Structure 1
Amino acid sequence: MAIDEINIGLPSAPSPGLILFNCEDQSDIIFSVTLNPPINQEDGLKCDSNKWRFPAHSFIIQESSPFFASLVQQLKNEKKSKPIVNINCQPELFHLLMSYIYKKEVKLNCSFKCLALFEIAIKFDLIDLAVVCLSLLQSNLTIYNVIEILVALDRFQSVERDPINTFDSRSINKPNGQTVNQLPSSIIANLINLESHLSSCIDQCYLIIDENGDNVLASESLVSVGENLLRSILTRDSLVVTNELTVFNCLDRWSSIQCVKRQKEVTIGNKVEILGNNIYLSRYLTMTLEVFKHGPYLSDLLSDKDKEIIVSKLYDGSVPLPVHLKQYRLDKPRKEKNFQKSPRFTNYHENQRSHNQLVKKSHRNLSFLVDRKSNLSFKKLLNGLGEAMICVIQLLD
């Protein structure tokens, strides 16, 4: 066999990040990370039992995000030798963050940790990591985690769906008082990409909810959501439910939980007050008379006047509705979409039987490794040598 026919893998030199991750050598910044240190019950003093220490290297972290670039510049201006920077963050998540910065690698074992890492990535302006987290979340959505994920992501989506302003005051650190429009085009492009992924993930959440309306509306997670998100779900024409009694029962349970959360007695009066006009989110006139009389009619959440009007309307469709009910879509059937159903979401009972396998599969999927290597051996060698020269220059400095 000729020598040029042998596939010789030329090793690339390790990057500075791979060499210096969690390494004291050349570190010029120390991050002291803890999340709201617990109070020692004996003496009432804060204890640092969960405080982690991270050695960091300014020439690496300053390239990762606007937040760290601004921090490094501030520390240089202060001219302190190896300053200690206190970070209020869950140490385990900050470790994942630093692993991504240094090694372009992040490994996760559950969707909720991925969601937490997404929020930390936004906090520290690591837009590329936030996009990675969104991609992982979207590929691992199930009826068991969709509400929790939607609740978290909904906070980051602007009402106007403006990709530039969505993460303006909440996330991106703008050095030297820059406005968003004055940010580098690369950062604006990253923000637009992030908003696109965020919208896609949220749309997928709603699709799963639509496909599995009966089961999602009966879940305990839904009754704890805020009013605005509840309305955005229950007003959807594409929400697939067996009948509107499911929606009514969801409203009943939601109002009970809201009484508890607001420290009110769980009484009909308080539930009616909390629900307000949301009681009309259930489309009563699409129910059969029998379903209505054995469900909402027996409840006191609707007024006696409203119940009699609805019963009359169900008996005789020509009965006019009073003005206060005409504004609601009480008689509008929900439209079932032609879903491209996935086996994961088609049948709830099948999902229950295979839930453990699904969780294991999700855990395997929740890992991401950024490819740092080129397919061309020559390019790999050049990149490696260039990175090695950076290390040498830093050592000489």
Structure 2
Amino acid sequence: MNRVLKYFEGDRTTWVIVFLLALFSFMPVYSASSNLAFRYGDGNVISMLVKHAVHMGLGIALMYLVHRVQYRYFAPLSLLIFPLIAGLLLFTLVNGHEVANASRWVRIPIVNVTFQPSALASIVLITYLARFMAKYGDNFKSFRDTWLKGLLPIGIICGLIFPANVSTAAIIFTLSMIVLFVGGFPLKYILNIFMIGVASLGLFILTVTAFPGISNRLDTAVTRLSSFWSGDEEANYQVEHAKMAIARGGIVGQGPGKSGQKNFLSQSESDFIYAIVNEEFGLIGGFLISMGYVWLFFRIIRISMKAEDKFGRLLAFGIGTGIIFQAFINMGVAVNLLPVTGQPLPLISSGGSSLWMTCIALGMVQSVARGLTPSAEIVDETKMYNDNIPADAYA
């Protein structure tokens, strides 16, 4: 293992966790995909496994390439990419590829691959906010001063995602508030942003009520929330079968490939794969997976605390916390602690764009862990991220 890890810089423990989760993913994906292969394909489960292997291999390659980039380059890149991702989100909202009555994907015709821009938008926004707080965090004179450079980007990204993906927009908004709070943004300003968000949500609800054709996802979100609180078994069809899977798993599980509920869970290979893990590997397997993410979270916190500057600390914390946040939301849905959100389990669920974005995010965290000294030609460009240099000197 050490011979292999010597080619991977950064935090080696994080690499080990990623490799372990990635290798483990093949068992539940292989089992859960059998239902998908027979339902929509020709019954060739091996082809589904090969597809997952290709996605995972490309994801690890992306993680490796990104972790080789000096993390300070991500700050100016976020400025360049932000307008592009905003335009891509707008295109997706207006003319995106629709799946399950939701326009969340963009199809790339040359390679016939669908891509979900909201996953990349989350990374770009968190990187942008890390830069914003590193540069201006100690120089806020009033709430009005933060509008254009700090808060407007949050509104743009969340506003473009919300009509087609309510849960993802809510997660990104919450994560943004966490990054601002950790970065030292005044709490009273964060409360102001929250109130603005609530007011915007109310306005959107009134608009959709008056013009139902604008979005059909609000009704879906309301239905999921109401069924979650009411405990309606018929409305919670997926969750009920997920609970059955967990109950059948018991302590040690039914064994690899012996899940029965995969035939009833339509998203058993992605959104509800944690239920399949518990059914086949029992409470022990489910606990070990959850502890894997806890372990990863502690490594991310360690990387963040040891980062050279404020930008690195906020970047590692924000990007890394987003991955852990998503993981525990997925597991919370499977065990009926949270309403259905449609979030995949990072590094384990089958999928292309979500897996790749997770690996890119982890690559950025590992880039911070490398802690390389910036080259001479970019020293002046990165001084604004040093805690000891006043930000107004570079305004």
TM-score by length of 2: 0.26
Higher fraction of helix: 2
Q: TM-score, normalised by structure 1?
A: 0.26
